[in-house]
Each structure stands twice: as structure tokens, then as C-alpha cells.
Chain A
Amino acid sequence: SQTIHQWPATLVQPVGSPLSLECTVEGTSNPNLYWYRQAAGRGLQLLFYSVGIGQISSEVPQNLSASRPQDRQFILSSKKLLLSDSGFYLCAWSVRGRGNYGYTFGSGTRLTVV
């Protein structure tokens, strides 16, 4: 069966520090991968999505970036965190070309920038 792993679960980082969040999927090949951010009490904001290795689409311009170095690995990064980067970050995957089977979300990373 397919599983999605996301880590770390919680993170407290100072303003201006770098960020790296990792997401991996097991049990499937060629998945579509997504990064979402959720501010406290708010909706799901799509940050990036990828339909293949090295293929990244950015939805919202900001100081975050994403990379997909391997088929089942998706990384969210920042060189310098801002206070506004705080939130709940969720990785998700779907079957490529068949997104109508919905997403499976990872357990999320709660990031607090102080």
C-alpha cells in the first residue's frame, strides 16, 4: 500500500534561518506531489506542485522554493525564513494523470518562526 512520510512534525526556527522540509512517498511510482500551507484557522494554500522529477510549478510567489530530486521525494526550502512563513505545511500526493482519485496528505509539519 502507498504511504506518505513527512518530517519533522514540528519545527521552531528563528527569523532569517534556512528551512528544509522533506516528503517521501512509498508504494507508488510517478506520483504528482504537492506542498500546501495552512495558516492558523485558515484554508489550504497550494504552494508548489510537481508532475515529475525536476518539474516544479509555483502557485504563490514568496521566499519558498521546492525541489524534486527523486521521483518520490519532494523538498520545500527557504534560504531565510520570515515570521509570515509560520503555519502548518502539508505534503500530498496523487496518481499522475488521474488526479480525480483525490489526494492523500502527509501528517504535516507545524512550523513556528520566532
Chain B
Amino acid sequence: GENVEQHPSTLSVQEGDSAVIKCTYSDSASNYFPWYKQELGKRPQLIIDIRSNVGEKKDQRIAVTLNKTAKHFSLHITETQPEDSAVYFCASYSQGGSEKLVFGKGMKLTVNP
């Protein structure tokens, strides 16, 4: 079945720096890649997603890139702020497979003021 690897598991940056989270997937049929942000004690919330027919997508300070050949995708956060501190999960979905997302193990981002 599909496997999603996420790294690093923790990242600490200074406010204003950029942060990058990388994920790899194994199923070449995967075609949808969402990213979730989970603040402490709260539910994961979708922050951005990308489909397999797109290489990059931006939404203000966050962007996601997808390299289908290499089977990896990344989340980029620029001008980080303390409120960006959270756990970030990547996930992949395979069209035609079981109807479920496969999640990475998450990355804890700490933005120091």
C-alpha cells in the first residue's frame, strides 16, 4: 500500500525565516496531496493542497511543490510567524484505490520570536 514519509520530524526557526517540510510517497497512482496544520490540542485543518496535474501552488506565505517523477512534495512557509508554530502533516490520495488519505507522521514546527 501507499507509504508517506515526512521529514524532518521537528524544525525550529527564527521569526521571519523560511521553513520547508518534505514528503515522499510510494504509490505512483497518487494524484492529490493535501497539507494539514494542527495547533496544540486542536483538530488538523487543511491549509493547502495540490493535484498531480500541477507542479506548484501558492497561497500568500505558503506554497507547495510537487515532483511526480521523484515522488516527492514539499511545503514552503516564508516569513514565518509565531502563529505558524504547529504540527504539519502531509498526505497523499490515490485515485482508484481505497478512499482514504495516507498521512505522514507529522513535523513539529516551532517559530521563535
Contacts and interface: CB of A to CB of B under 8 A. Distances in A.
B101 A105 contact: no
Contact of B45 (A34, A57, A105): A105
Interface stretch (A18-26, A75-83, A91-99): A91-99
Given A43-B89, A44-B106, A99 B100 contact: yes
A32 B93 CA distance: 14
Contacts of B103: 43-44, 46
Contact of B99 (A41, A42, A51, A107): A51
Nearest to A97: B99
B72 interface: no
A90 B44 contact: yes
A1 B103 CA distance: 26
Interface residues of A, number: 24
B31 to A, nearest CB: 7
A27 interface: no
A34 B103 CA distance: 13
A59 B99 CA distance: 13
28 contacts: A32-B99, A32-B100, A34-B100, A42-B106, A43-B104, A43-B105, A43-B106, A44-B89, A44-B103, A46-B103, A57-B98, A90-B43, A90-B44, A94-B101, A97-B99, A99-B100, A100-B32, A100-B51, A100-B93, A102-B49, A102-B101, A103-B46, A104-B46, A105-B43, A105-B44, A106-B43, A107-B43, A108-B42
